Structures are given as C-alpha cells and as structure tokens.
Structure 1
Amino acid sequence: MVEVTRTIQAPVAEVFAILADGWSYASWVVGASHIRGVDDTWPEVGARIHHSVGPWPCTIQDTTAVRAVDPPHSIELDARLWPIGAAVVRVELRAVGPTSCEVVMNERAIRGPSRLLPHAIQALVLVPRNRESLSRLADLAEGGYVDARADIGDG
C-alpha cells in the first residue's frame, strides 16, 4: 500500500463535497482527462464514474467504482486502467480543526500486470502522482470549490 498525506485548509465536509461530486474527478485526479458520465447514485457503493485517461487522442476509456463510503470521512474506490490493471484507492479525511483537515490517500494495485510490480517500483510512480492529486484537491477546496449541482434551480 502506497500512502501520501496532506493537510488541507478546508473543513472535512467541504473536501468530501469534492469527492462526492464525480464530475470533479478529472479536476483533481492526475491522469483522468475527461469525465464521460457519472452514475446518478454517486458516491454510493457500486456507483461509477465513466472517464477517459491519458492525453487526447490516445485516451483509454474506463471506469472508477465506489467500493465503500463513510461520508464525510472516507471513500474507497476501484480505479481501473486497463490494460495496465486496477487499484484500490482509499481517501480518508480527519479534522485537524474547524477549518482544516488531514487527507490520507492510500493506493495499491490489485489486478493486472501492475500488481506484479514490487512495492518500491509502485511507490516511485504512485507517490508523486498521488501527492499531485492531493495538491489539486487542496487547490479546489482552499479555492472555494462549489458543487454546481447545489446551485441548480436557485434561479
């Protein structure tokens, strides 16, 4: 399991709101380039984000599904990227104060050729990638992210 941690200057609920908005996935997950669709039940267990990975025109179409969720404390995802494989990604949020939280992101390859790589090799790729993902998540949360769905109908 590869783990990275970051303190974000936003409350747990605000950071979880970003995770709960499947349409925001490509804004903070490094590698996700386009969201094609999000199941209406996201982020319930079994719900999926249909995304593209990689630069256009060489994108791979795949999905990420919710394995477990405990709003607003954690979400666990089955992130696929065939033919490379799939990984379990767990994001945990812990309040450090009323306006900040610690975000812990764990990832491990579970299917496909990537699971055969030694932990040290996986870490060489995943640690920088996941640090950047948490940096992007922090930018959204600290920059005043607003879930656009909450504004629909406020006319």
Structure 2
Amino acid sequence: MARNERLIPASPERVFAVLSDPDSYGHWVVGSDTIRDADPEWPRVGARFHHRIGVGPFKLNDHTEVIAMEPDRHLELHAKARPLGTAHVVLDLERRGGGTNVTMVEDAGDRLTKLVFNPLTHFLVRRRNDESLRRLEELAVGR
C-alpha cells in the first residue's frame, strides 16, 4: 500500500472542487494523459470518467469509477489501466488550520494486480503520488 499526505493551503471545499472536476485529473494525476469523457453526475457513486494514460506511443484507454464519496471529506475510486492493472485509491480530506490535510492511499485494485505490487512498486507509487498531490495543491490554490 502506498500512503501519502500533504497539507494544502486551501479549504476542503476548494480541494474537493478540484476532485469533482473530472477534467482536472488529466493534469494532477501523474501518468494521466487526457480525460476522454465523463459522466455528468461525477463524482456521485457509480459515476465514471474515461481516460487515456501512458507516455509517448504507449497509451491505454480505460476508466475510473467512484466507489464511495462524502462531499468535501472523502473520495474512493477504482482506477483501471488494463492490461497493466487496477488501483483502489482513497482520498481523505481533513480541515487543518486554514488548510486541508489530504491523505491519499493507493493499493492494488484486484487480485492479479496484487501479484505485482511489491515494496519497489509501493515506493514508486508513493513517489508518483507525492507529485500528484503537489499538482492537486497547485490546482486547489489557484482556484
């Protein structure tokens, strides 16, 4: 499991506004290339956005679905990048002072992906998610 935290100098409402905009994921999620389409009810439970991930000529199309959501506090996602695997991602927002402590936990989203999640994979995912949370902060503070 990869666990990251970041104190963002913006309110939980501002951070959640970024998470509620499916087009923002193309910017703040490292490895995401473009958002191809999104259900209009995003981020309600069951809603999806369809994305392209990868670098250079190596691109995959798949989708991310909302598993659970509590406005301004919690977002749980099932992100797919098949055939590479799936991820279970939880974002918890907690008001702290004038900002928001964001905790992001990412783990394998299915049994097959768990076979390749090892200490090195978790380390690399933590590094990637450090940068993702930095980009999330950039968007939340800029709103």
- Normalising by structure 2, we get a TM-score of 0.94
The residue aligned with 2:128 is: 129
| Structure 1: runs of 5+ lacking an equivalent | 146-155
1:69-80 superposed matches below 5 A:
69-80=69-80
The residue aligned with 1:24 is: 24
AA aligned opposite 1:128: R
1:20 to 1:118, Cα distance in 2 relative to 1, 3 A? closer
Which structure would you say has the larger Rg? Answer: 1
The Cα offsets for residues 27-82 of structure 1, whole Å up to 9 and x where unpaired, read as 10011100100101100011001000012432100100000000010100000011
Do the aligned residues in 2 keep the contact of 1:20 with 1:42 (CA within 8 Å)? yes
1:1-155 superposed matches below 5 A:
1-97=1-97, 99-111=98-110, 113-142=112-141, 144-145=142-143
- Normalising by structure 1, we get a TM-score of 0.87
Displacement of 1:113 after TM fit? 4.0
Displacement of 1:122 after TM fit? 2.4
| Structure 2: runs of 5+ lacking an equivalent | none
Displacement of 1:22 after TM fit? 0.7
Do the aligned residues in 2 keep the contact of 1:77 with 1:88 (CA within 8 Å)? yes
- Number of aligned residue pairs: give it: 143
Superposition misfits of 4+ residues, deviation over 4 angstroms: none
Q: How large is the Cα RMSD of the aligned pairs? A: 1.3
Give me the identity figure in percent. Answer: 40
* Greater share of residues in strand: 2
